[in-house]
Amino acid sequence: MHFTSENILLISSVLIFCSILISKAGYRFGLPSLLLFLIAGMLFGSDGLGLQFNNMNHAQFIGMIALCVILFTGGMETKFKEIKPVLGEGLALSTIGVLLTTVFTGLFIFLLSEWDMAPISLPLVTCILLAATMSSTDSASVFNILRNSRMKLKNNLQPLLELESGSNDPMAYILTIVLIQIANTISGAGSIDAWTITADALKTLVLQFGVGIISGIIMGYFAVWVLNKVHLTNAPLYAILLISIVFFTFTVATKLYGNGYLAVYLAGVIIGNHKITFKKEIFSFLDGMTWLVQIVMFVALGLLVNPHEMLQVAPIALLIGLFMILVGRPLSVFLTLIPFRKVSLPSRIYISWVGLRGAVPIIFATYPVIAEVEGSGLIFNIVFFITLMSLIIQGSTITSAARKLNLSLPIPDDDNKFGVEVPEEAGKLVEVTLTEEALHLGNTLKEVKLPKGMLVMMIKRGEKFIVPNGSVELHAGDRLLIISENDDED
């Protein structure tokens, strides 16, 4: 097919349309939608309907844009009061946990490659590089699956898992880049100065985390100030303005040798935990945009792979994937969390299980290919296979695993029965169902004791709506729409 502007639009629209339909069908079988977006890309790719897409640089660019939006939205939806109690555990998992996973998995891959019957033969550095590319949990997969699982978790597990996935990319990135440099030096018959490499790695680590954190904090507070001070005539422009700040934050952090993904995640956390103009509208915009970029990214990554090449490494990739899921990840989690005694055994097991791989490992696997590392094609296909494996095995069992470990909580009834919303700055809406105990002082509205700063706006009885006044008679089961004064911060 000749790629004209019209044909590109046609192909893109058909891909997105079919991906959504496929994900809808797969949802009934408990399969993660992101997995189905990947599969949709594979079906349309070179081994499917023949659509050719093999540009790793373009794939990286698509992934960069998508991950910026996904991480920022995830940060905005994260309440600081929820991640504060698990800050130590999250940072430990995102640094030490990633390093241990890389070491354990890399050594296992090397032992496999030394086996006479193994279909691959890789040097130790390349084996560790392969492990490093998939050592971090994927933020897109974790955010998407946890927040669409219709389940709440005990012991602050959800904010812990989201904090880990939102902050562990810098360590995986550093390991990947350093190991690529070592691998290319060895293949070029050059000498390796261990002290120089160690010093460079530590410098990169400090810059990635330090600049990423500082950039994220500064730009987060700057965005809050701008959004509350600028007066735009159209509400949708606030969301577009915020997106421009997100990409600016990523670019500035990256140009200063920091980690842009960490910066946009932290900026999102800061913005989401402050009052900003048109916050509900911004959330609505970001929700739709997040779904769009997730679809585009996972479909593009699906197009990038040649399934027949991936199947050639399936046996060895299956062994590596099983080791990572059942041994490497659990071992690194349990060792990392030794100082944190308050984390229960069921919680440790669940954290070990929710080590989801997704778009980030695949994107990191493109770095060795672009750098022309020996065996990079093998690395990419193995990482892609393990990503599919992780989404199928772990992604589809997140809910059931939580229930078996007694870590799930009943979902509160958050449905908006009244269909009413108010701007965040005007107050907070609360819906309350009356019980017999609430009416023990009397059954009229004026006899129901409400906390100071709360006002009943509407009463719903069955399908009937009642305008409230002090003498209206209340019944058990009535649903009250209450507006309350809002704090300065959530």
Q: Where are the domains of the chain?
A: 5-409, 424-484
Q: What is the distance between the alpha carbons of residues 80 and 87, in angstroms, rounded to a whole number? A: 10
Asked if 101 and 131 count as a contact pair (C-beta separation under 8 A), the reply is yes
Range list of β-strands (E), 346-433 = 408-409, 428-433
State both tokens at 449: 């004791």
Q: What is the distance between the alpha carbons of residues 276 and 270, in angstroms, rounded to a whole number? A: 11
Antiparallel, parallel or unpaired: β 464-466 and 428-433: unpaired
5-409 sits in which CATH class? mainly alpha
- The one-digit pLDDT tens for each residue of the chain (490 residues) are 555 778 778 888 888 888 788 777 666 666 777 788 888 888 887 777 777 777 888 888 998 998 899 889 888 988 888 888 999 999 999 999 999 999 999 999 999 888 767 677 888 899 999 999 999 887 777 777 776 666 788 888 888 988 888 888 888 888 898 888 888 877 765 566 667 777 877 888 888 889 999 999 999 999 999 999 998 888 889 999 999 999 999 999 999 989 898 899 999 999 999 988 888 889 889 988 988 988 888 888 888 888 888 888 889 999 999 999 999 999 999 999 999 999 999 999 999 998 888 888 888 999 999 988 888 889 999 999 999 999 889 888 888 888 899 988 766 555 555 556 666 656 677 777 877 777 777 777 777 777 777 888 788 887 788 888 777 888 888 888 888 776 544 4
Asked if 136 and 360 count as a contact pair (C-beta separation under 8 A), the reply is yes
* Sole residue written with tokens 């701007």: 423
H or E segment and range at residue 250 = helix 236-255
Measured in Å, how far apart are the chain's first and last C-alpha atoms? 52
424-484 sits in which CATH class? alpha beta
**Dihedral of alpha carbons 75, 78, 83, 84, sign:** positive
H or E segment and range at residue 74 = helix 56-76
Q: What is the distance between the alpha carbons of residues 366 and 368, in angstroms, rounded to a whole number? A: 6
